[in-house]
Amino acid sequence: MAGLTRTAGAFAVTPHKISVCILLQLYAPSAQMSLPFPFSSISQHNRLGLYLLSLTKSCDDIFEPKLENLINQLREVGEDMDAWLTDHLTNRFSSLTSPDDLLNFFNDMRGILGSLDSVAAQDDQIILDPNSNLGMFVRRCILAFNLLSFEGVCHLFTSIEVYCREAHSSSAQYDASNDNLGSLIQHDQMDMEKYIMDKATEEIELQKNASGRVPFHLHTPEALFKVTEGLLVTRKEKSRTNTKKAEATQLACASSSTVNDTLVDESLFLRTNYQIQGFLMEQADAIETHGSSLSSSSIESFLQKLQNLAPELHRVHFLRYLNKLHSDDYFAALENLLRYFDYSAGTEGFDLVLPSTGCSMYGRYEIALLCLGMMHFRFGHPNLALEVLTEAVRVSQQHSNDTCLAYTLAAMSNLLSEMGIASTTSVLGSSYSPVTSTASLLSVQQRVYILLKESLRRADTLKLRRLVASNHLAMAKFELMHVQRPLLSFGPKASVRHKTCPVSVCKEIRLGAHLLSDFSAESSTMTIDGSLSSVWLKDLQKPWGQPVFSQESGSRKSSTFFQFCDHLVSIPGSVSQIIGASYLLRATSWELYGSAPMARMNTLVYATLFGDSSSSSDAELAYLKLIQHLALYKGYKDAFAALKIAEEKFLTVSKSKILLLKLQLLHEHALHRGNLKLAQRMCNELGGLASTTMGVDMELKVEASLREARTLLAAKQYSQAANVAHSLFCTCHKFNLQIEKASVLLLLAEIHKKSGNAVLGLPYALASISFCQSFNLDLLKASATLTLAELWLGLGSNHAKRALDLLHGAFPMILGHGGLELRARAYIFEANCYLSDPSFSVSTDSDTVLDSLRQASDELQALEYHELAAEAFYLMAMVYDKLGRLEEREEAATLFKKHITALENPQDEEPNMA
Amino acid sequence: MVSKESCRNEIRTAIGQLSERCLHSAAKWAGEQLVGIEQDPSNSTPSNTRFQRGSSSIRRRFSTNESITTPQPSVGFSQAATPLPEEDEVIDGDLYHLAKSYFNCREYRRASHVLRDQMSKKSVFLRCYSLYLAGEKRKEEEMIELEGSLGKSDAINRELVSLERELSALKRTGEIDSFGLYLYGVVLKEKGNETLARASLVESVNSYPWNWNAWSELQSLCTSIEILNSLNLSNHWMKEFFLASAYQELRMHTESLAKYEYLQGIFSFSNYIQAQTAKAQYSLREFDQVEIMFEDLLRNDPYRVEDMDLYSNVLYAKEACAALSYLAHKVFLTDKYRPESCCIIGNYYSLKGQHEKAVMYFRRALKLNKKYLSAWTLMGHEYVEMKNTPAAIDAYRRAVDINPCDYRAWYGLGQAYEMMGMPFYALHYFRKSIFFLPNDSRLWIAMAKCYQTEQIYMLEEAIKCYKRAVSCTDTEGIALNQLAKLHQKLGRDEEAAVYFEKDVERMDSEGLEGPNMLEALVFLATHFKTHKKFEEAEVYCTRILDYSGPEKEKAKSLLRGIRMEKTGFPSMDMEHFPL
């Protein structure tokens, strides 16, 4: 196949390798003395040997050190004979004046190898065993050189010249080298400067960590890594540069010229395909995690470079697609996605493709469809996405790619559940896939359920653990929101239990979280190519504190293999993301079921444990929940302060929900403070966020009209409010939004209560309660009960006893989990009940009432809910009046007056948020 | 109209100047145009004019005779105020001659070395130019030597930096002539500085319009009509050549043809213009005309390889195996290592159904020129034939990445994906190809078919596409038939009837018969009968009677029914009462 990647990473002779060879020649000269000339002690000799060993081990790196770096390192190793070593090295290089010298040099190299069969070497002889690490290295070099054509030798020769020249120029003064740098990088100077800075800071850190020692092991590969990774690092570190600036810049010169060099010079780049793929995978993760907060142009420039270096590395296109996706550039994203799949046929670098299944003759274009579908979804074209995914299902079936099918089904169910497409029949009616064709009779919810089940089954048989886990989570989400119902119910058996099932939600969440244990149990099978090598790269980032070439170097982990093992038990990012999502889901479910502390706890767990690995949208959601919690339980001041922080953090994220939250909070706040105009405006803005398409963004639309009804209610336009609520209820019914139905019913009851029509309100309240019961919405039920009680009281004071009983029934729930408003309402209502109960005497039992009222007024003040607060103070004043405590009465009365005036003259003192 | 005489004089002088500076291809181009001008009848014997086309030896002798006599600058040239520059130097004589010979022997570095200390503008130009070419040559070599494992080959012309430095310095001091400006433009273009390159080239062609090399570099930098229009070019007849070729590249074929037509008034025998006209006609799919033109061209210029790949495409489209093999043989003997030759041979094998061999030759063409667009596309076609869809997609994608306006490759991509049962995915590519060529019915039909597949089944969209196809004069007549059938399927008999009628009309005019015709007739007959338009129904019924088979019987019974309804009486058997 024309476009497939050829395996990279052939061993090529480079100037750096020749340096190592020269040093090896010093270490084991062919004249077999017991201790070769310059070495004064055996330990010195050994030290060089260890150093060479590490050099040979790192010779496959993405970047090779410059001669200058090498000389610096030699200085550390060589101690008193460093001058001699470096002199020898440079002299040897300058003696290479023609390609013929190179030929001779490699002929000489052959001499330092011992013969293969001479096992019986004398003790004090220094012979390079051809099978040792060093020997192998020499042999590989010789072989690679012998394979070179004459042109190749010439190129090697010129690159040696460049290699030496650079060392000279950069060992010159700082200014000179700076000039040199300037001429080296004419284009994209800006980018380079960035790299330089990052590189500089990084070098300094390394040096600090290595306590002054040169961190010799592979510090150049990071150059590439830092090229991009460095851009993600906050710029704080820059402040630390001042002390070592000169030195750092020198190092930076070297490293940046490395980067530059690879652009113009061949052969220095690209170790293995493996590694590059892993590196790209890492970048992809970074793009996802940081969302659009990442500068897309910097990634773009990096990708451009990479593409220049490796035009056949098609994964670059995929990364570019991701990048464009996150910077919301639809056309470029589409273009790059298509290009990637055109070139790679879906077979390059995708972990969905198990090597065992083999890439068929036909390529794996179904993955292209899957990705395209998800892209359309993200850009908000649900119908298009559904079309594409349907095609993906079909093609996957056709090519019997079950893995892809499972993923596609999951994506499809996700799409359906998120978008809740209204008239899916028109969309899905055309498709003839077995999964969807039967489904045309079913509601969207049922279809989602089928898809999920199907996907789960496949994922389970294929042992796609992550998919299984995320499917379980999706299932939990589904169970959380939807009523269990037989898929096809015929005949008179219609009286099915309409009930959500918290147990199964819990079960699904737990099953989802099993992923973690699965991973630690059989991690080795789960590491896919990319993450393995990227883990390896990550290791490089961590500088080793241990002195590497000290005498007890055996304590160091001897090979990267052990580090692999180390890392295998740690959790890949994608897994921790899913686990994190499970916590978020837990929080959401507790929110619905009405346990505020549990919701808060789970969110906090998420934010603390999974904040690093989470995608930006998930992190945003967590923040959202926490802020909502603050607003409900601590009042607006704290919430707005937190919101400000969150805004800074997430404003760049596309489709930010923060804006939504802000509008919600502002609306709520305005309602409480009686600023109805503002409330109305916020409400309208909220509605404006939703898409105009029917059936899309349903939740947002419901939210908006719910809020509209509440605003109307606050404006005492009861009939209009009732109208809005009624139509809202119809919408909810049409789109099968059960939970929203319950709250709409409650709102209707509320409207009737406020309009003084308690009799009409009662059935709504009761209906709401029964809804809440079947959906296990405990908190909402408590609040409905409160409304019910209020309605009873509204029927006359003779019902006070009954109302009080109802209230006391709901009290534990309200006080335990309710927000400030609900609690205050309950307190006030309790006081009201007592006061209107004819059998209750204020003078004897005043504390019961006053306590509740005091509680209520405290909470309401935090909430700035003027209307209720006024009511509380009014009641308080009345009670004090009855008791004859005039001073306190006056105090309460002034507070009452304050709240009333505040309510009547709402100033626009928005806390600089709107 | 520019006078032929002045053109001739200008070109003659220019050829001398161009070849003096070793701008051989520009000189070649100018030479072609020069002999393309109709000879002045007063200067030439009737026999000369008769032999003008086809007898190159006579022409050459004739023109050399004259060029010696009239080296004077042009007189009475109305359109362009550009005077021919005086040849400034005679001084650098010997060294310059040596350098020129070196250059002509392709020893570029040697040539530039000889001129190292010469300061005249001519020497400076030749020195820089040979240095540039030396760098290019080395670059080409390195590209192969350095080909990395992931396809990395970023060999660059190492002379560019120093050349740019020198030329920009010269430009700043104003010591640069129009040839230097041309070279500066080329260097800037290579370095990726397109705006500056364009400016420099414009300056060059404005001061010396006869350097076709400069024009073609400029043309390659005009990627959109906006850029083209923004160029500040002074009027000269060379500008017409430039515009014609630029329009062609921007797919404005009719405009381009108009320009060429105008130019043909002066350069009536120019092979170049003829080839370019053929190219434009090819894009307009006038294959017969193109074939004639190319035959003519080959008769006059039998060893021409340029543009012959296009001719082979025409022959391929016309399935003229013998002619194609003849052409392939001829170019093979002329120069087998030209991408065009390989492409022609590939086409031949493809026509013969030997796709592996075809691929091999296309590969060779691509080896010779990596950016040879049509070879990528044609190779894609071959892979499609070989059912190696991923490879086909890869090839097409490369073509598209080289030139995103290549509608054939986009179309190929769409086809490949459709073949794999991904019609929805394919639609995007069809849309792309249609975007670049909105007037081609084939593309619209392909897209319509995509919409029609049972997987998508969006018939309304398909109908829209077919309508577009009809409006683009669909030569194969698929669209009308499909439109009628689709409407029939959707139960819109009125529309269906309209399209069937049109289709019948079309088939009548083209003299076609066949199942489509019969189907249309049957539908129309029944349709008109049910709508009580008996006159029309009868006409169609009688036409059906010309055919044999079950339809004939049906027509008979229809006719009977018509009679019955017309007269209000039960009909009698036709057999018994022949009319």
Q: Which of A:281-320 have CB within 8 Å of B?
A: 308-313
pLDDT of residue A429: 38
How far does the CA of residue A266 sit from the closest CA of chain B (Å)? 7
What's the rounded Cα separation, in Å, for the pair A478 and A507? 13
How far apart are the CA of A396 and the nearest CA of chain B, in angstroms? 11
Average pLDDT over residues B313-326: 90
Tokens of A156: 């090697």
Asked if pLDDT for residue B105 goes beyond 90, the answer is: yes
Query: Hunting for tokens 């400006």 — which residue is that?
Result: B181
For residues A395 and B422, is the Cβ–Cβ distance under 8 A? yes
Q: How far is B102 from A433, CA to CA, in rounded Å?
A: 72
Contact assignment for A311 to B417 by CB distance below 8 Å: no
Q: Could you tell me which residue, B204 or B438, shows the higher pLDDT?
A: B204
Chain A, window 431-470: residues with a beta carbon less than 8 angstroms from a chain B beta carbon: 431-432
Gap from B252 CA to chain A (nearest CA, Å): 26
Map tokens 């209204």 to a residue: A422
- Which of B145, B394, B428 is the closest to A155 by Cβ? B145
- A775 neighbors A479 (Cβ within 8 angstroms): no
Q: Please judge whether A388 and B424 are an interchain contact, meaning their C-beta atoms are less than 8 angstroms apart.
A: yes
Percent of chain A with pLDDT over 90: 0
- pLDDT tens digits for A350-386? 443 443 344 445 567 888 888 888 888 888 777 788 8
Which amino acid is it at A271?
Answer: R
Whether the Cβ atoms of residue A137 and residue A56 lie closer than 8 Å to each other: yes
Residue A298 CA, chain-centre distance (Å), reads 19
* A696 phi and psi angles, rounded to 5 deg: -105, 150
Question: Which of A60, A185, A260, A266 is the best residue to mutate to test the B interface, defined by the most B CB atoms within 10 Å of its own CB?
Answer: A266
Segment of A771-775, B272-276, B492-496 carrying the highest mean pLDDT: B272-276
Question: Does residue A824 have a pLDDT over 80?
Answer: yes
How far B420 CA sits from the closest chain A CA (Å)?
8
Query: Cα A751–A752–A755 angle (5° rounding)?
Result: 85
Asked if A64 and A73 touch (Cβ cutoff 8 Å), the reply is no
* Residue among A6, A10, A343 minimizing CB distance to B394: A343
Q: Which backbone phi and psi does A128 adopt, to 5 degrees?
A: -85, 110
Share of chain B above pLDDT 70, in %: 87
Contact A385, A415 (CB under 8 A): yes
Work out the burial of residue A380: count CB atoms within 10 Å of its CB; fewer than 13 is exposed, 13-18 middle, 19 or more buried: middle
ipTM metric? 0.73
Q: Which amino acid is residue A143, in one-letter code?
A: L
Residue B553 neighbours by CB distance under 10 Å: 11
Question: What is d(CA A823, CA A872) in angstroms, rounded to the nearest whole number?
Answer: 13
Which tokens sit at A563? 């580090």
A308 vs B152: CB contact, 8 Å cut-off?
Answer: yes
List chain B residues with CB under 8 Å of A2: 391, 394-395
Quote helix, strand, coil % in chain A, to nearest 5: 75, 0, 25
B69: its two tokens: 């006599």
* Sequence-ordered list of residues with C-beta below 8 angstroms from that of A186, at least 6 positions apart, any chain: none
User: Using a CB-CB distance cutoff of 8 angstroms, which residues of chain A are in contact with residue B138?
Assistant: none
So what's the pLDDT on residue A369? 86
Half-sphere exposure of A25 (CA within 13 A, CB side): 17
Instruction: Output the pLDDT for position A294.
Output: 60
Identify the pLDDT of residue A878: 84
DSSP state of A268: S
Q: Which residue of A has its CA nearest to B458?
A: A430
* Mean per-residue pLDDT over chain A, rounded: 70
pLDDT of residue B147: 65
Residue A400, both tokens: 């019997």
- Is B422–A372 a contact, with Cβ atoms under 8 angstroms apart? no
Q: Tokens representing A834?
A: 């007592």
Which of the residue ranges A147-151, A251-255, B87-91 would you say has the lowest mean pLDDT?
A251-255
Chain-centroid distance of CA B132 in Å reads: 30
Domain edges within chain B: 1-35+90-142+158-222, 513-569
Which tops the pLDDT comparison, B513 or B282?
B282
Residues of B82-91 as b/e, b for ≥16 C-beta within 10 angstroms?
Answer: bebbeeeeee
- Whether A207 contacts A215, CB under 8 Å: yes
* Close Cβ partners of A313 (under 8 Å, ≥ 6 residues apart): A5, A276, A306, A307, B150, B151
The larger pLDDT score, comparing residue A634 to residue A261, is at A634
Backbone angles phi, psi at A594, to 5 degrees: 100, 30
Range of weakest confidence among A336-340, A648-652, A685-689: A648-652
Grade residue A684 by pLDDT with cuts at 50, 70 and 90: confident
A365 touches chain B (CB under 8 A): yes
Condensed to tens digits (0 to 9), the pLDDT of residues A833-884 reads 888 877 777 777 777 788 888 888 888 887 778 888 888 888 888 888 888 8
Torsions phi, psi for A726 (to 5 deg): -65, -45
Please indicate whether residue A590 or residue B241 has the higher confidence score (pLDDT).
B241
Most confident of A23-32, B241-250, B446-455, B497-506: B241-250
Candidates A310, A362, A395; nearest CB to B152: A310
Q: Fold for domain A690-811?
A: 1.25.40
Q: How much is the pLDDT for B216?
A: 92
Bridge partner residues of A113 (DSSP): A128
Give A758-807 pLDDT, tens digit per residue. Answer: 888 889 999 888 888 887 888 888 889 988 888 888 888 788 888 888 88
Question: Residue A556: is it exposed, middle or buried by C-beta count within 10 angstroms (0-12/13-18/19+)?
Answer: middle
* DSSP per-residue string spanning A627-641: HHHHHHHH-HHHHHH
Please choose, from the candidates A641, B373, B477, the residue with its C-alpha nearest in 3D space to the C-alpha of residue B362: B373
Write b or e for each residue in B160-177: b if 16 or more Cβ atoms lie within 10 A of its Cβ, otherwise e.
Answer: beebbebbbebeeeeebb
Instruction: In whole angstroms, give the CA distance from residue A847 to residue A855.
Output: 12
Q: Does the beta-carbon distance from A8 to B150 stay under 8 Å?
A: yes
Contact criterion met (CB below 8 Å) for A13 and A75: no
**Residues in A 386-405 with any Cβ partner in B closer than 8 A:** 387-388, 390-391, 394-395, 398
Nearest-angstrom CA–CA distance, A232 and A248: 20
* Residues in A touching B388 (Cβ below 8 Å): 1, 361
Residue A113 phi/psi, 5° resolution? -80, 135
Q: Does A183 touch chain B (CB under 8 A)?
A: no
Out of A367-376, A510-519, A710-719, pick the least confident: A510-519
Amino acid symbol at B500: F
Residues of chain B in Cβ contact (below 8 Å) with chain A: 141, 145-146, 148-154, 156, 388-391, 393-397, 401, 413, 417, 420-425, 428-429, 454-458
For residue A362, the model assigns a pLDDT of: 59
Q: Do B395 and A309 touch (CB under 8 A)?
A: no
What are the chain A neighbours of B393 within 8 Å (beta carbons)?
342, 345, 363
Tokens of A235: 């710029």
Confidence band (pLDDT; 50, 70, 90) for A124? low
Average pLDDT estimate for A690-713: 80
The stretches of A291-351 forming alpha helices (DSSP H) are 296-309, 315-326, 330-344
Give the pLDDT score at A795: 83
Q: Give the tens place of pLDDT for each residue, A230-274.
A: 333 223 333 333 333 333 333 333 333 333 333 333 333 344 555
Encoded tokens for B445:
């039909």
Q: Looking at the partner chain, which of B150, B388, B420 has a beta carbon nearest the beta carbon of A5?
A: B150
> Which CATH code of 2.120.10.90, 1.25.40.10, 3.40.50.300, 3.90.1300.10 fits the domain covering B1-35+90-142+158-222?
1.25.40.10
Q: In this predicted model, what pLDDT tens digit does every residue of B520-569 receive, in sequence order?
A: 888 888 888 888 888 888 888 888 888 877 878 888 888 888 888 777 65
Residue B314's closest CA among B305, B324, B303, B306?
A: B324
**Cα A334 to Cα A740: distance, rounded to the nearest angstrom:** 37
Q: Is the pLDDT of residue B386 over 60?
A: yes
> Mean pLDDT, to the nearest integer, of B218-238?
89
pLDDT digits (tens, 9 = 90+) for B32-58: 898 888 765 555 444 444 444 444 433
**Chain B neighbours among A 529-568 (CB < 8 Å)?**
none
State percent of chain B over pLDDT 90.
Answer: 27
Q: Which of A118-127, A313-322, A425-434, A712-721 has the lowest mean pLDDT?
A: A425-434
Q: How far is A482 from chain B (nearest CA, A)?
A: 31
Tokens 């400076």 belong to residue: B124
Cα separation, A577 vs A610, whole angstroms: 7
User: What residues contact A316, with CB distance under 8 A and at least 6 apart?
Assistant: A280, A303, A306, A307, A310
CA gyration radius, chain A: 36
pLDDT at residue A36, rounded to an integer = 63
What is the overall mean pLDDT for chain B?
A: 82
CB contact under 8 A, A342 and B396: yes
Residue of B149, B402, B431 to mutate when probing chain A, most A C-beta within 10 A: B149
Interface check A117 vs B, CB under 8 A:
no
Shortest distance between the Cα of A336 and any Cα of chain B, in A, equals 11
End-to-end CA distance of chain B: 70
Position B78 pLDDT exceeds 80: no
